Chains A and B, each alone.
Chain A
Amino acid sequence: MTNTNIQQINPKSAKRTQIIYGFVLIVVGLLIYLLFGLNTEAGVLTTFGLNLASSQAIKIPDLVLPALTTVYLMAAIAVFIGAYQLARGIRSTGALIGVIAFTFVVAFLAWAAQDKSFNLAGMLSSTLVRATPIALAALCGVISERSAVINIGIEGIMLIAAQVAVVTASITNNLYVGLIAAIVVGGLVAAFHAFLVIRFKVDQTVSSVAINIFGAGITSFISSRFLQTATDTLNNSGTFPIITIPGLSKIPIIGPMLFENNIIIYMMVLLVIVMHITLFHTPWGLRTRAVGEHPKAADTLGINVYFVRYVNVIIGGMIAGLGGAYFTIGSVGRFDEIMTSGKGFIGLAAMIFGKWNPIGAFTSSLIFGFADSLQVKLQILRVPIPSEFLLMAPYIVTMIILTGVVGRAIPPAADGQPYEK
């Protein structure tokens, strides 16, 4: 990647951005009115369930809103803030994107679930679950690319790890052995990638693509040669139990969402925090970032560039291995061919949208998780949109994010370049 895109904030482009956002907000307001306002019947109620189906100590009443009024209110908010933006200007683009997303999604839900009940708590809860593999893929990307090694092979690593996890767990009858095996294998495949791109200076994209093709090939090969004939003994592991944290899980709405999950989800959240601290508050993190930004300078200061890259790529692979384990022993307990269905690539988009930052990557994974779980809920509601189009949503969101129209980010300066002494 060339790095000519370091943007300087000059008053002219800031003014232009302000006007663009203002118009976008007004257009969103009009769209809400045209798409949803005109199709919502007057006097109909939309019910948002705020309790999960599981027995909860503290029940809170469901949120019941008049559908049409809600839609109009959201349209009005968007138009008003758009007008304010044109007149005065709000600095934070994040807040503006938030307003756009919030008004559009709320109006959309009020329209889609009119005269019906929609379990909001359930959807928020499944958002975190569905964001988990994406977040783990994104974390793998963050740690590799912070040391300037591009890894587009996350998809392949996750597929291999997913299969290894379920097969090992089925043979040993121990889910934790399966988890460790997945992490080790993820690390090994990433080590191979690192070896190719650091030792042999293979083009990083080509090597990653080879890993993806190889991963898809070997897992499908093993699946059709061994797993399909011996499903019970080799491809039937069960899944990690839900660990409920006493006390905290009793909090309404966020309690069951955050504190009733399986071990991989807790590990993911923990990894986000650990990686943030490591990258920005430890000597190792400083070295990693130095190697990613200016390897020559780092080398001059006595940092072993190759060693830092190897370690980071391998740790990234282990994280992707954990993400792979999520697909099998973390959610369904069996392996299906090509079951990752592009999640590794979506994770890369989350990484870019999160500005190569662990916490940013996690937050943007939640957006994808939300899009994914929304799509499932909408199919249940029988919205008059074909389910195939709803399934396209995460991919389209990824492409929009990659354009950098919303929040352009700058990758580590040396990203993707082999280092030669």
Chain B
Amino acid sequence: MSIENLIEDFSFLDNWEDKYKYLIELGNQLPHFDDTQKIEQWKISGCQSQVWIIPHFSSSTLSFQGDSDAIIVRGIIAVVLEIFNDKSAQEILDIDVEEIFDKMGLREHITPNRRSGMLSMVDKIKFYARQSLEEKNEHSRISS
């Protein structure tokens, strides 16, 4: 499913019950982490629920796995992963996630004042992207 499809799906749902139901459905498709994955290293701080994000770096793109102990939050993670997975570091840094959430009618979940951790999740993903970009620059500097 592409992010455009998700935006379209959400725009059809005009009440919060249906939006949340759909989010939960999306979250249900995420595999649950086992205990070896639910470790401090992958935990996102500043959330009111527990959220873990694990990055995977390949030569050209980044992808992420995520989990939470709250089911609506799992749905939000599913959307966030859909937005960022299999993108290059630069693409990840350029994405305006607030705009996308706005289009889905989920903006309140990404604004900083909610402290529900969604923004910290996105910040962490962008942090990994920046890290991978810097490493690449370092490499090319050394090899040249």
A and B: bona fide binding partners: no
